[in-house]
Copies of this chain bind each other. A is one copy, B any other.
Amino acid sequence: MPEKSKGEVQSKRSAILDAARDLFTQKGYEETTIAEIAQAAGVAVGTVYLYFRNKHEILTGASLDLEAGLAQIFLDPTLLDLPFEKVPEVLIEKIFHAGRQKKKHMALLQIDVFSSEDMLQYKKVNAQLTEAISTFLRNAIARGYLAPCDTDMYAQLLYLLGRSVLHQCFAVEKGEREDLYRHSMADLIKRLFSGPPLSMS
């Protein structure tokens, strides 16, 4: 097997995560067995344990992977080239697009994070995302597009809202009312941006 490059080895971890993502979102975490994941990924059961210490680590991996993917959207450098007032709409567009693509995986946005180890990873991804949003908000305030506010908290709220909406729109409602959700989100953001200055807490 001369073609067995590093990339292929790497792909085993990915294959497991991909398989797990599908199964977790189809049948739920508890109802999915390692054996199923291994089979779907085309590896042996034991191999799974070469890449993950236990079952829950696979869930965390799959979930954070997904969220990190969404985080990338905010870090896309081409956003900077846009006229500032277009950005929210474009972001919303991109986020929903991603959700639509991975519709069936959106259920992973709603998982419990228990172990403190997971929590750390979760906070890292969360921080990355809220920081990106916060930066954008600060920028907006600086340019006068947005009345001053606690940008960190606003970023957090927007992040929670976005995640929740993606989950509801795609995981629960299967994308049937996507347009409504997208437009309402855009509308809501615009209102925020045009709201009056308020005293900060």
Contacts and interface: CB of A to CB of B under 8 A. Distances in A.
Contacts of A153: 180-181, 183-184
A165 B160 contact: yes
Nearest to A27: B114
Contacts of A75: none
Copies in the complex: 4
30 contacts: A29-B112, A107-B112, A110-B111, A110-B112, A111-B112, A113-B172, A149-B184, A149-B187, A150-B180, A150-B184, A150-B187, A153-B181, A153-B183, A157-B165, A157-B181, A157-B184, A157-B185, A157-B188, A160-B164, A161-B161, A163-B164, A164-B164, A179-B201, A184-B201, A190-B198, A191-B192, A191-B195, A191-B196, A192-B195, A194-B196
Interface of A: 28-30, 107, 110-114, 147, 149-150, 153-154, 156-157, 160-161, 163-165, 168, 172, 179-181, 183-185, 187-188, 190-192, 194-196, 198, 200-201
